[in-house]
Chain A
Amino acid sequence: MTGPSPSRLPAPAVSPAIDPSTDSHLFLEAVTKNFGSQAVLKGIDLSVTRGGTTAIVGPSGSGKTTLLRIIAGFEAPTTGRVSLSGEAVAGPDGWVPAHKRSIGYVAQDGALFPHLTVGQNIAFSLGHIPRARRKERVAELMTMVRLDPDYAKRRPHQLSGGQQQRVALARALAHEPQLMLLDEPFSALDAGLRVATRRAIAEVLKEAGVTTILVTHDQAEALSFADQVAIMRDGNLAQVGNPFVVYTRPADRATAEFLGDAVILDAWMEGSLATCALGAIPVRRPPVQGEVVIMLRPEQIRIAEDGPIRGTVLDTVYFGPETTVRLLLPDAGETISVRHWNAAIARPGTELRLRVVGEAVAFPKG
């Protein structure tokens, strides 16, 4: 039914399948969590490779923070198992409390201890090493997270939000965790700082070789930070896979729309070609034949002088580096949005020619 499809996109590097036989650091098996009668997690299976970075992304209320708290040991799962390096830490086979799990945890607001200085915060778990060595270690950790060691004497409230997050990271790293959990650590920061802090923290964690799990509601953050993205919706993992795969080949329409702008069109599937308002578009592994909806990313629809499809500009929204152009396809009567770098060509009423690049993803209709 699939046949050789004319793929112009590179094949994904990582398989999204869960396979505990590889070097799995964290392994979740059918984890559920109820608060009273409310089911927050409805059966989560997830495997995280040692040294890898995983982002759990989902809208607020989808259960992602609860999942993180179960991994950390602040909550117990209602049913299911959690194992770390093959050892059961939660579930019917045993229980390991949070402070014995060797897991680092960076909370949304950093959760720095307000009664301690920055240095004392970082040294919180270093009580067992001699005082002089401790000071050295704090300075090392501060350099590692790109903080001026002179800040050690300051109080947390004297730092900016981004600096506080780096202190929280340094404090967590001081404990030398095997696994680092980041609970929306960048969401309280403003846009510019967020990108810089995210990059700095990603580098530090990569250098330290720590397995990392990031929880976020920001899909761009998830896609840019992690090498495995798990999309969470209503207490389930809708899809787990590498960022490229989940973005270009989402498992369902909701995931497609959550991960970025999507052009959704009705289409008729025959073989591996979907016929729609934009003509016949190749689809990789179509799920059914006949009536479907297809999804294209706006950047797959290019404005080209020799393009086969006609479109009339309805209106535009200017974003600076690019412009979102809303087009009416006169042949089909449908409206789509595309992106273009040049605002000047897209005056309302102008007729443009379009070309589709790459493959579409098809979903069963309804």
Chain B
Amino acid sequence: MSTTLDRDAQRVRAGRGSHPGRPSGVPGLTIIATLVALISLMPLGYVAYMTVATGWDTAVALIFRPRVMELLSNTFWLVVCTVPACLVLGVAAAWLVERTGLRGRRLWGALLAAPLAVPAFVNSYAWVSAIPSMAGLSSGVLIATLSYFPLVYIPAAATLARLDPAIEQSAASLGLGPWAVFFRVVLPQLRIALTGGGLLVSLHLLAEYGAFAMIRFDTFTTAIMEQFRSTFNGQAGNMLASVLVLGCLLLLLAEVRSRGNARYARIGSGVQSSPSILPLRWYQLPSQLFLLALTALALFFPLWFVIRWMVVGGPAIWNLSEYLPALTQTLGYGLAGAAVTTAAAFPLAFLAVRKPSWFSKTLELANYVTSSMPGIVVGLAFVTVAIRLTPALYQTNTVLVIAYALLFMPRALVNLRAGLAQAPKQLDEAAQALGVSPFRAFLRVTLPLSAPAVASGAALVFLAITNELTATLLLSPNGTNTLATYFWSYSTSIDYASAAPYAFTLILLSAPMTYLLLQQSKKAVGQ
């Protein structure tokens, strides 16, 4: 449709020179958005190119060997055990908080999202420093479940809070008991939340490096990092990366297929009544104990050990000549990355909201695919491409910030889209009808209305960057350290006390992210 409009515009334009402000053309934005999407496809292109360049025989030899099978089996069992555990814990917790007479619902609501503030590698550090023998699949599943179940809890809770109770009441009036209502009516409506949350958990499992390296559990990501450390840019590492990327793409496809055409918006007009609350009666105590155990393990346990190590270390661990530069460096990367990411995401979001077409959908899809690329693959791609094409840029802040932008673009996109939807086109048009040029209308109407969403998107990107470890290890300039890389080098050399201040700062910086995610998910479901 947009192409037709453009063609019409050109036809009319051909009549008499150019006419500024035609309603159909936004070629500048389209060009920028296309460029951004192309750059974002670079990691995928790199993996594909490397696979082809390696040659079929070598690739087969490198992929079909016992080591790869072992990694595949590790990663497979990790996903197969962790994702269902996260789904069950997340939905159970969300249902208790949103739909039952649980005491202290508001407090539990916040506490259950809070484990997200503890980065998975900090969680792993707490467990390993407490129980040094922790290793292998079961430990990996335990730590990953505790770190990632909020990724299911948050969307499930937001959806449950917004479900139209009239649907459940209709089901009850058709003779369904409470359990039947839950399984036949409530659970199906959670499908988008569950598939989305499940995908997010799986992608985190495939991409996570620090948490699993700490407990010596080998996944594709840890193996690629090892290969990179030993051979820098070996074919073996690249082939592992192709298998990993293939896994990510398959997950993405599975999620798209199971999501289907489900809609979760309420049909019909009128004001929705608030959901019915199930009294817990004698289940109150078991429910409280269950949630207490869950938050104790996921939140208070790591917090307790981080604080314990800080107390043990005393003032000696606060090496300010290291800590302060790392803090400013981290904040600097966060700010620069957030600015670049938001600016790059804006044209994409604008086209998607204002000029939806197959073209804007393709651009978004490209970004969606990139969002599934693990940090290790993006890092590897940038290292190789920078060395080969632009050696001057290798190990510079520029490359690192671009890599951050690719990794965290979807966070900015989701928020920008929601924000631009708050500023409908009709308002822009109303401003133009009042004699204000399209550009000034954008400045005076669209920008102020979408500013809160732009800010929260930028904040989420900022916080994600402060926690990023894998790509930072690969791409940061020599001698530059962030909070995460200092934490990493101390904790891997088993200096748990010296790592504690960095872990503590990372948790403090991540706390606002939890709140932002909670707010964002409520808004996303509200639309």
Are B15's CB and A74's CB within 8 A?
Answer: no
Chain B residues near A78 (CB-CB < 8 A)? 8
Are B4's CB and A97's CB within 8 A?
Answer: no
Q: Which residue from chain B places its CB closest to the CB of A99 in the assembled complex?
A: B432
Are A99's CB and B437's CB within 8 A?
Answer: yes
Chain A residues near B8 (CB-CB < 8 A)? 34, 76, 78
Among A34, A95, A103, A114, the residue within 8 A (CB) of B433 is: A103
Please choose the segment from A105-113, A235-243, A286-294, A341-349 that sits at the chain B interface, where 4 or more of its residues have CB less than 8 A away. Answer: A105-113
Residues of chain B touching chain A, judged by Cβ–Cβ distance below 8 Å, are 1, 4, 8-9, 12-13, 15-16, 19-24, 424, 426-427, 429-438, 441, 444-445, 448-449
Are B431's CB and A124's CB within 8 A?
Answer: yes
Bound CA–CA A146/B424 (angstroms): 28
For the complex, is A91 an interface residue (Cβ under 8 Å from B)?
A: yes
Contact-residue bracket for chain A: 35 or more
Are A35's CB and B438's CB within 8 A?
Answer: no
Q: Which residue from chain A places its CB closest to the CB of B13 in the assembled complex?
A: A95
Bound CA–CA A258/B72 (angstroms): 69
Chain A residues near B424 (CB-CB < 8 A)? 111
Shortest 10 CB-CB distances between A and B: which pairs? A97-B21, A95-B19, A105-B433, A125-B434, A111-B430, A98-B432, A92-B15, A99-B432, A111-B426, A175-B434
Are B429's CB and A35's CB within 8 A?
Answer: no
Are B22's CB and A76's CB within 8 A?
Answer: yes
For the complex, is A36 an interface residue (Cβ under 8 Å from B)?
A: yes
Instruction: Mark each residue of chain A from 83 to 126: 1 if its CB lies under 8 Å from any CB of chain B, else 0.
Output: 00000001111111111101111010101011100000000110
Chain B residues near A36 (CB-CB < 8 A)? 1, 4
Among A91, A94, A102, A111, the residue within 8 A (CB) of B429 is: A111
With A75-B23, A98-B21, A98-B433 in contact, do A107 and B426 touch (Cβ < 8 Å)? yes
Chain A residues near B436 (CB-CB < 8 A)? 99, 124-125
With A76-B9, A93-B16, A98-B23 in contact, do A125 and B449 touch (Cβ < 8 Å)? no
Bound CA–CA A4/B13 (angstroms): 54
Bound CA–CA A97/B434 (angstroms): 12
For the complex, is A215 an interface residue (Cβ under 8 Å from B)?
A: no
Are A99's CB and B435's CB within 8 A?
Answer: yes
Q: Which residue from chain A places its CB closest to the CB of B25 in the assembled complex?
A: A76
With A92-B15, A97-B21, A111-B426 in contact, do A35 and B1 touch (Cβ < 8 Å)? yes
Bound CA–CA A97/B430 (angstroms): 13
For the complex, is A362 an interface residue (Cβ under 8 Å from B)?
A: no
- 8 pairs across A/B with beta carbons < 8 Å? A73-B23, A76-B22, A95-B22, A99-B441, A102-B435, A103-B433, A175-B434, A175-B435
Are A97's CB and B1's CB within 8 A?
Answer: no
Q: Which residue from chain B places its CB closest to the CB of A34 in the assembled complex?
A: B4
Chain A residues near B22 (CB-CB < 8 A)? 76, 95, 97
Chain B residues near A76 (CB-CB < 8 A)? 8-9, 12, 22-24
Chain A residues near B432 (CB-CB < 8 A)? 73-74, 97-99
Are A100's CB and B426's CB within 8 A?
Answer: no
Bound CA–CA A34/B11 (angstroms): 13
Bound CA–CA A100/B426 (angstroms): 17
Bound CA–CA A93/B13 (angstroms): 10
For the complex, is A72 an interface residue (Cβ under 8 Å from B)?
A: yes
Chain B residues near A34 (CB-CB < 8 A)? 4, 8
Which of A92, A96, A174 has its CB near the most chain B CB atoms (within 10 A)? A92
Chain A residues near B435 (CB-CB < 8 A)? 99-100, 102, 125, 175
Are A99's CB and B438's CB within 8 A?
Answer: yes
Question: Knowing that A105-B430, A115-B445, A124-B444 are A-B contacts, what are 11 other residue pairs whose CB atoms are under 8 Å apart, sorted by A's residue number?
Answer: A36-B4, A73-B23, A91-B15, A93-B15, A94-B19, A97-B22, A97-B432, A99-B435, A111-B429, A113-B445, A175-B435
Residues of chain A touching chain B, judged by Cβ–Cβ distance below 8 Å, are 34-36, 72-76, 78, 90-100, 102-105, 107, 109, 111, 113-115, 124-125, 168, 171-172, 174-175, 181
Q: Which residue from chain A places its CB closest to the CB of B426 in the assembled complex?
A: A111
Bound CA–CA A102/B436 (angstroms): 10
Bound CA–CA A91/B9 (angstroms): 10
Q: Which residue from chain A places its CB closest to the CB of B430 in the assembled complex?
A: A111
Instruction: Give chain B nearest CB distance to A179 CB in angstroms.
Output: 10
Instruction: Give chain A nearest CB distance to B3 CB in angstroms.
Output: 9
Chain A residues near B15 (CB-CB < 8 A)? 91-94
Chain B residues near A174 (CB-CB < 8 A)? 434
Are A95's CB and B445's CB within 8 A?
Answer: no
Are B19's CB and A111's CB within 8 A?
Answer: no
Are B449's CB and A97's CB within 8 A?
Answer: no
Instruction: Give chain B nearest CB distance to A328 CB in angstroms.
Output: 40
Instruction: Give chain A nearest CB distance to B164 CB in angstroms.
Output: 23
Q: Which residue from chain A places its CB closest to the CB of B447 in the assembled complex?
A: A115
Are A124's CB and B1's CB within 8 A?
Answer: no
Chain A residues near B433 (CB-CB < 8 A)? 72, 98-99, 103-105, 172, 175, 181
Instruction: Give chain A nearest CB distance to B454 CB in angstroms.
Output: 14
Q: Which residue from chain B places its CB closest to the CB of A128 in the assembled complex?
A: B435
Instruction: Give chain B nearest CB distance to A170 CB in angstroms.
Output: 11
Chain B residues near A103 (CB-CB < 8 A)? 433
Are B21's CB and A99's CB within 8 A?
Answer: yes
Chain B residues near A104 (CB-CB < 8 A)? 433
Instruction: Give chain B nearest CB distance to A67 CB in angstroms.
Output: 15
Bound CA–CA A69/B22 (angstroms): 13
Are A35's CB and B16's CB within 8 A?
Answer: no
Q: Which residue from chain A places its CB closest to the CB of B425 in the assembled complex?
A: A74
Instruction: Give chain A nearest CB distance to B329 CB in angstroms.
Output: 37
Are B434's CB and A172's CB within 8 A?
Answer: yes
Chain A residues near B445 (CB-CB < 8 A)? 113, 115
Bound CA–CA A111/B424 (angstroms): 9
Bound CA–CA A99/B435 (angstroms): 4
Chain A residues near B427 (CB-CB < 8 A)? 111, 113
Bound CA–CA A95/B18 (angstroms): 9
Bound CA–CA A240/B219 (angstroms): 74
Are B448's CB and A105's CB within 8 A?
Answer: no
Bound CA–CA A125/B435 (angstroms): 7
Are A74's CB and B449's CB within 8 A?
Answer: no
Instruction: Give chain A nearest CB distance to B83 CB in angstroms.
Output: 41
Bound CA–CA A35/B8 (angstroms): 10
Bound CA–CA A105/B436 (angstroms): 13
Q: Which residue from chain A places its CB closest to the CB of B14 in the assembled complex?
A: A92
Instruction: Give chain B nearest CB distance to A101 CB in angstroms.
Output: 8
Are B23's CB and A74's CB within 8 A?
Answer: yes
Chain B residues near A171 (CB-CB < 8 A)? 430, 434
Bound CA–CA A97/B15 (angstroms): 15
Chain A residues near B448 (CB-CB < 8 A)? 115
Chain B residues near A93 (CB-CB < 8 A)? 15-16
Which of B9, B21, B432 has its CB near the most chain A CB atoms (within 10 A)? B432
Q: Which residue from chain B places its CB closest to the CB of A92 in the assembled complex?
A: B15
Bound CA–CA A79/B279 (angstroms): 66
Which of A75, A91, A95, A103 has its CB near the most chain B CB atoms (within 10 A)? A95
Which of A34, A73, A76, A109 has its CB near the most chain B CB atoms (within 10 A)? A76
Instruction: Give chain A nearest CB distance to B24 CB in angstroms.
Output: 7
With A74-B23, A99-B436 in contact, do A114 and B449 touch (Cβ < 8 Å)? yes
Q: Which residue from chain A places its CB closest to the CB of B12 in the assembled complex?
A: A76
Instruction: Give chain B nearest CB distance to A19 CB in angstroms.
Output: 27
